[in-house]
Amino acid sequence: MNLLKMDFLSLHTLSIVKLTLKDIKKNVLINMSLKDKKVFNLFKKGNTKGIFQFESKGIKNFLIKLSPNNFNDLIALNALYRPGPIKYINKYIYRKYNKKKIKYDLPIMKKYLKNTYGIIIYQEQVMLLSRVISSFNKKESDILRLAMGKKNINLLNKMKNKFIQGGIKNNHNKNILYKI
C-alpha cells in the first residue's frame, strides 16, 4: 500500500519555546549558530533541563561522557539513545577520541561512516551501504530499512541473502559480508 507514516508529538517544550520567543519579541532562530560554544558547554555539563530528548538523567550522563563539540554529536547521541542502539553509545564515545583505531570492514564504508566513527547509526546509512556494497536499488534499500524497523525476520533473511549475493557479485569477501 506504501502509505507515509507520520508521528505527531505533542511537545510541552515547544510551547515554552514559542512563549519565550514571543516574550523576547524577536526571532532569534534566524541568527542561531550551530557552533555556539556556550551552548555546547551546557550540553557538556549535562545542563539540559527543558531541552526535549536531552532531559533524562541517563542521557545527561552520556552527554558528560561524550562532551559534544558539534551538532552531529548531538544528533548521533539522540539517535543512539534508544533501547536497541543504546549499547553503541560508549563505542561511539571511545571512537570519537581514538579515531586511529577505527577499522572499516570494506574501504567504501569509510565514506558513509566517517562522521559516525565507523558505526552505522542512521537508516540512511543502511540504505546507502546496501546500494554501494550490494547494488540494491532504491526500492530494495527501502525494503531493507522497513524490514529492520519492523524487525520482520522473514523479510530480513530474504534481504540478507540478497545483500550477500549482491556483495559477492561486486567482488566483496563473503565472510565480511556476513559480518556486516
Burial of 10 (0-12, 13-18, 19+ CB in 10 A): exposed
Predicted TM-score (pTM) of the model is 0.79
What pLDDT digit, counting tens, does each position of 84-141 carry? 899 999 999 999 998 778 999 999 999 999 999 999 999 999 999 999 999 999 999 9
What pLDDT digit, counting tens, does each position of 8-50 carry? 656 677 787 777 777 776 655 566 788 999 999 999 999 999 8
Under a CB-based contact definition with an 8 Å cutoff, are residues 13 and 31 in contact? Answer: no
Under a CB-based contact definition with an 8 Å cutoff, are residues 13 and 52 in contact? Answer: yes
In whole angstroms, give the CA distance from residue 86 to residue 151: 17
What pLDDT digit, counting tens, does each position of 155-168 carry? 999 999 999 999 99
DSSP state at residue 37: H
Q: Which residue, 103, 177, 175, is CA-closest to 133? A: 177
